[in-house]
Amino acid sequence: MSTPPTSQQAPSPIGENVRRVDALEKTTGEALFADDLQFGPNLLYGRIVRCPHPHARILNVDASRALALPGVKAVVTGQDTPGTIGLYLQDRHIFCRDRARYVGDPVAGVIATSEAIAEQACRLVEVEYEVLDPVLDPLQGAQPDAPLLHPDLEDYEVANFIFPKPGTNISNHFRVRKGDVEAAWAQCDAVVEREFRVPHVQHVPIEPHIAIAQADRHGQITLWTSSQSPFAQRSLIADALGISQSSIRVISPYVGGGFGSKAGVSMEALAVIMAQKVPGHPVKLRLTREEEFFTTFVRQGLIAKTRIGATKDGKLQAMKTEYYWDAGAYTEYGVNVTRATGYSSTGPYEIPHVHADSYCVYTNHPVGGPMRGFGMPEIHWGIEQIMDLLAEELGMDKVEFRLKNCVRGGSIIVTGSEMHPVGLPECIQKAADAVNWGTDEPASAPHKRRGKGLAIMWKAPAMPPNAGSSASVRFNEDATVTVSVGGQEIGQGAFTVAAQMAAAALGVPVDWVRVHGPLDTRYSPYEWQTVASRLTWSMGNAVVAAANNARRQILELAAEHWDEAIENLDIQDGMVISYKSEQSLPLQNMVVYGLPKPDDQGWRGGPVIGHGSFMPTYVTGLDPETGQGPRSVVHYTTGCQAVDLEVDTLTGQITILRVAAAYDVGKAINPDQVRAQIEGGVVQGASTAFFEGLAFKDGVPQNTSFVDYRIATSVDIPYEIISIIVEVPQDDGPWGARGVGEHSMVPTAPAIANAVAAAVGVRILDMPITAEKVYLALEEGE
């Protein structure tokens, strides 16, 4: 009998700080793209010819000179991609056909024997353009007389919860009409109105986008890609090519950073089209760091116009908001950002009268898509600052004001539905206490001023109502367990949590469990996408269902073997035990070979393989005119961040002394990983607050390198990050868990802005909060 690994541990790993560098199979950790030799001598390389204009009609593409260059094998153009592609709105061709809509739009692809030859050949492709007037601002783009970027908008396929306006540049208009806003203004003793702006931001994962595609002579396609969405990529590319999903296999290893940029389809389909031109040859397409900045998804820009009012006792009454999203040239993903921010437009506040319009506007900027927070950091930038301004107008303490108005279990939220139990008030109080809110503390020098600010947040998983997860659990002879999932490991610890959940549900030590990788759509169970901070909740439910299915098989086998009721049996620490007869059996071998019948009359049982799936069945649609409905989302994760900082009045430089971040995660399956997510989100949020923003001149990106596009480094991070975990269980989560991966980035920027205002009286409404802006505002104030 083989002996499984042993461990000294608590009966259940849930809530434990399990550290599992070995949670992945070793094949997952291998760099599938690092060694080109593994694809053999037939490997070819691709490079892309990109449009240099923000908006242009393509009159002619002449690739004859490129094809004549030795080493060039083929050239593809828009004529090879008649179909359209898109997740929620199919509004783009894989290669441009008649029109290019942003600087960097792919016009042609060159396949050659080396990357250098492919790059040289790209310069030989001659493209004749007719330059067209661009749209470079969402307010301009929303006007009826703006240049029309997508004349065929009415013909595009679109999800039934997205509402484009054909004949305009508005690809989605989400409305909220709750109560009577205009009548409510008369009840308000204080009203504040402001406009806030958020620039485009790039995700800048350290690993750039890369894909290798191969098409065989029978039409079967294999795509190796750094992806958060292998199943979505398979589906979207198959639909665009008009082929079966069974004809495409996507293999996706461990991802070197994503933050949303590797969700859906961006450059991966280009590699597939290029591979189809050279059957039998794998084609490798790798983006340069410069391309990474403006040819993949960027976070959408936003102009937010908000008016809000409250009674003199501090009770919110009315809110009117207009969001104009700078969604870029194609909005196949951005339309759902617009929707999600519309149904979350009040922030985590209970407001009886709400009027909100969220517009997704086509512009000739890079393609807007998902980024950590999915629109929530952008809208909370304005929501949390205007709440501070209103509290000041009323003469109320900012903590008291938020505690008076924040959502609680039973609150009626912006969509008219009832809020589930939530620990937001506890988060607010704990974060405030952690920074000694209400206590004046001295600055470190006479020319510095110290201030404290806070911001609260909420975010729901923004997804279709039928986004599903599946998993399988398979025992080996020695009772070790292989868990297969379709969710991706992008550094957030999803595989570790899956192992913990499987172990807890099965009743085996956690170090007996391995999570299989790399993801492979031919063999891995289905998962919608690794987005929306949903894996712990959705994939976790599927893993638990699969483990329970396997557990039931084992207990039924033991019950028959012992002639006992299954209710008297349990599995603990890898042993089947009976509470009635006090018998026990190790799992080894029985989970594959079964157990013998009496008197050598054969065997019963067999290999134990558990299957499980999960899909929420209770999410309802929203009225397209009012945005009201009984349950618009599965749940909200809420939290609060409080910031204590100093401002140097001589330079405008800001130093964060400490950040307290408290989140209600339902149940912390792995507390250390929750704290790591909180810390990472705070740093990334501070980076966007202080430094980040793509700069454009006439639609042409200007800062496409780490020299000119700065992100936070170790010298910029807060001196202290205090991570606080609050646990109010979620009714449909495994052990009550909710996701927290994105949420910790949402309130950081407005909390910093509020702290700066408290320190020096300067209110920055347009991100980022640079030292230069602060210094100039101080100079102007003097």
User: What is the percent of the chain with per-residue pLDDT over 90, rounded to a whole number?
Assistant: 94
Query: How do residues 622-666 score in pLDDT, each as one tens digit?
Result: 999 999 999 999 999 999 999 999 999 999 999 999 999 999 999
pLDDT above 90 (res 17)? no
DSSP category for residue 421? P
pLDDT above 50 (res 580)? yes
Q: What is the CA radius of gyration of the chain?
A: 28
The pTM of the whole model exceeds 0.85: yes
Q: Which of 363, 209, 364 is nearest to 290 (CA)?
A: 209
Q: What is the residue extent of each domain of the chain?
A: 23-31+467-614, 35-132+209-286, 301-463+620-781
- Within 13 Å of residue 3, how many CA atoms lie on the same side as its CB? 3
CATH level 2 (architecture), domain 35-132+209-286: Alpha-Beta Complex (3.90)
pLDDT above 60 (res 25)? no
Class of domain 301-463+620-781: alpha beta
Torsion of CA 94, 369, 656, 653, to 10 degrees: 60
Euclidean distance between CA atoms 283 and 274, whole angstroms: 7
Q: What's residue 15's pLDDT?
A: 87
- Indicate the pLDDT class of residue 3, thresholds 50, 70 and 90: very low
pLDDT above 90 (res 12)? no
pLDDT above 90 (res 162)? yes
Query: How do residues 499-518 score in pLDDT, each as one tens digit?
Result: 999 999 999 999 999 999 99
Do 35-132+209-286 and 23-31+467-614 have the same topology in CATH? no
Residue 630's CB: how many other CB atoms inside 10 A?
13
Q: What's residue 4's pLDDT?
A: 41
- Read off the tokens for 164: 């484009």
Task: Look up tokens 């997952």; give the residue.
Answer: 28
- Read off the tokens for 440: 């004046």
Q: By three-state DSSP, how is residue 217 classified?
A: coil
Q: What's residue 7's pLDDT?
A: 34
Beta strands (DSSP E) in 387-530 are 448-459, 469-475, 481-485, 513-515, 519-520
DSSP category for residue 183? H
pLDDT above 90 (res 701)? yes
Q: What DSSP string runs through 307-348?
A: EEEE-TTS-EEEEEEEEEEEEES--TTHHHHHHHHHTTTT-S
Q: What's residue 38's pLDDT?
A: 77
Q: By three-state DSSP, how is residue 448 classified?
A: strand
Euclidean distance between CA atoms 644 and 749, whole angstroms: 13
Query: What integer is the mean pLDDT of 95-112?
Result: 98
| Stretch (H or E) spanning 499 | helix 494-506
Euclidean distance between CA atoms 382 and 402, whole angstroms: 15
Query: What integer is the mean pLDDT of 143-169?
Result: 98
- Read off the tokens for 737: 């868990």
Query: What integer is the mean pLDDT of 711-740?
Result: 97
- Indicate the pLDDT class of residue 23, thresholds 50, 70 and 90: very low
Query: How do residues 200-241 score in pLDDT, each as one tens digit?
Result: 999 999 999 999 999 999 999 999 999 999 999 999 999 999
Query: What integer is the mean pLDDT of 81-91?
Result: 97
Task: Look up tokens 């600052």; give the residue.
Answer: 385
pLDDT above 50 (res 2)? no
Phi, psi of 357 (to 5 degrees): -130, 125
Question: Pairing state of beta strands 106-112 and 72-77?
Answer: antiparallel
Query: How do residues 424-444 score in pLDDT, each as one tens digit?
Result: 999 999 999 999 999 999 999
Q: By three-state DSSP, how is residue 710 classified?
A: coil
- Within 13 Å of residue 171, how many CA atoms lie on the same side as its CB? 37
Q: Which of 310, 337, 77, 302 is nearest to 200 (CA)?
A: 302
Q: What's residue 569's pLDDT?
A: 98
Phi, psi of 760 (to 5 degrees): -130, 5
Q: What's residue 657's pLDDT?
A: 98
pLDDT above 90 (res 272)? yes
Q: Which of 541, 545, 547, 544 is nearest to 616 (CA)?
A: 541
Contact by Cβ (8 Å): 370, 297: yes
Peptide bond before residue 518 is cis, with ω within 30 degrees of 0? yes
Contact by Cβ (8 Å): 719, 419: no
pLDDT above 80 (res 11)? no
Lowest mean pLDDT: which of 25-29, 69-73, 91-95, 468-472?
25-29
pLDDT above 70 (res 6)? no
What strands lie across the sheet with 221-225, from one edge to the other? 72-77, 106-112, 44-50, 283-286, 210-215, 221-225, 248-252, 519-520
Q: Which residue has the higher pLDDT, 663 or 782?
A: 663
Contact by Cβ (8 Å): 356, 321: yes
Query: What integer is the mean pLDDT of 542-549?
Result: 98
Contacts of 155 (CB under 8 A, 6+ apart): none
pLDDT above 50 (res 682)? yes
Q: Which of 599, 694, 712, 612 is nearest to 655 (CA)?
A: 712
Query: How do residues 760-780 score in pLDDT, each as one tens digit?
Result: 999 999 999 999 999 999 999
Q: Which of 601, 617, 741, 729 is nearest to 673 (CA)?
A: 741
pLDDT above 90 (res 736)? yes
Q: By three-state DSSP, how is residue 696 classified?
A: strand
State how far the alpha carbon of 697 is from the alpha carbons of 364, 385, 583, 716, in Å.
Answer: 12, 29, 77, 28
- Indicate the pLDDT class of residue 37, thresholds 50, 70 and 90: low
Contact by Cβ (8 Å): 698, 131: no
Lowest mean pLDDT: which of 32-41, 530-539, 748-757?
32-41
Q: What's the CATH code, domain 23-31+467-614? A: 3.30.365.10
Q: What's residue 666's pLDDT?
A: 98
Q: Across the chain, what does the average pLDDT equal?
A: 95
Euclidean distance between CA atoms 667 and 9, whole angstroms: 20
Beta strands (DSSP E) in 363-435 are 368-369
Contact by Cβ (8 Å): 585, 576: yes
Q: What's residue 762's pLDDT?
A: 97
User: What is the percent of the chain with per-residue pLDDT over 70, rounded to a whole number?
Assistant: 96
DSSP category for residue 525? P
- Read off the tokens for 121: 């050949």
Q: What's residue 443's pLDDT?
A: 98
Give rounded-to-5 percent helix, strand, coil for the chain: 30, 25, 45
Query: What integer is the mean pLDDT of 129-145?
Result: 98
Query: How do residues 364-402 score in pLDDT, each as one tens digit?
Result: 999 999 999 999 999 999 999 999 999 999 999 999 999
Q: Which of 269, 335, 279, 346 is nearest to 309 (CA)?
A: 346
Report the first-to-last Cα separation within the chain, whole angstroms: 82
DSSP category for residue 731? T
Euclidean distance between CA atoms 276 and 257, whole angstroms: 28
| Stretch (H or E) spanning 95 | none
| Stretch (H or E) spanning 750 | helix 748-760
